[in-house]
């Protein structure tokens, strides 16, 4: 199943490859869980984009969560390659706990800073609060993440 999801994300990423504002990479987050995500950015014009993240999250108290998050972002340039962004989105995933497995669904927000180097490399740091409305992890959560992406 994990291989199928990875192949699906790769196919979607390649399908959007015609836009020069795209990037693919990884995010690592720390908050109420430890997370690793494959991350894809798709430009939607000069100031907007869509971020898709396929992640695995390990919660110390009760189990793990694999999910897909989509966030619509507004981008703002500060100076040169430095910018900031903010966005809203949703997530869906599968919780695997000690005693049960179930589907999760929630809403996300995101705000962060990013820097695009003169080479095709982008780094970012962001804060992502989320409110899960369905699943074993229902309630408020958050994470601070460092992202590294290849731009194409």
19 sits in which H/E element: none
| DSSP code per residue over 82-111 | EEEEEEEEEEEEEEEESS-EEEEEEEEEEE
Neighbours of 84 (CB within 10 A): 15
- Condensed to tens digits (0 to 9), the pLDDT of residues 36-65 reads 999 999 999 888 999 999 999 887 777 788
What predicted TM-score, i.e. pTM, was given to this entire model? 0.80
Between the alpha carbon of residue 40 and those of residues 59, 97, 112, the distances in Å are 24, 28, 16
Under the banding of pLDDT at 50, 70 and 90, the label for residue 143 is confident
Under the banding of pLDDT at 50, 70 and 90, the label for residue 137 is low
Residue 136's pLDDT is what? Answer: 63
What span, in angstroms and rounded, lies between the C-alpha atoms of 151 and 25?
9
What span, in angstroms and rounded, lies between the C-alpha atoms of 69 and 90?
6
Three-state DSSP at 64 gives: strand
Residue 88's pLDDT is what? Answer: 98
Higher confidence at residue 61 or residue 107? 107
Residue 77's pLDDT is what? Answer: 94
Determine contact, residues 30/146, Cβ cutoff 8 Å: no
Three-state DSSP at 113 gives: strand
What span, in angstroms and rounded, lies between the C-alpha atoms of 73 and 86?
5
């Amino acid at each position: 199943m994990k291989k199928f999801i990875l192949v699906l994300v790769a196919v979607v990423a390649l399908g959007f490859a015609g836009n020069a504002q795209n990037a693919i990479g990884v995010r690592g987050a720390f908050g109420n869980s430890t997370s690793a995500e494959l991350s894809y950015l798709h430009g939607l014009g000069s100031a907007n984009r869509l971020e898709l993240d396929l992640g695995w999250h390990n919660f110390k108290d009760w189990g793990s969560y694999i999910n897909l998050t989509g966030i619509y972002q507004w981008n703002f340039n500060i100076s040169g390659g430095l910018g900031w962004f903010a966005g809203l989105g949703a997530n869906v995933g599968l919780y695997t706990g000690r005693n049960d497995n179930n589907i999760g669904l929630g809403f996300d927000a995101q705000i962060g800073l990013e820097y695009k180097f003169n080479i095709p490399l982008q780094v970012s740091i962001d804060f992502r609060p989320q409110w899960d409305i369905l699943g074993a992890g229902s309630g408020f959560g958050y994470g601070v993440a460092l992202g590294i992406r290849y731009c194409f």
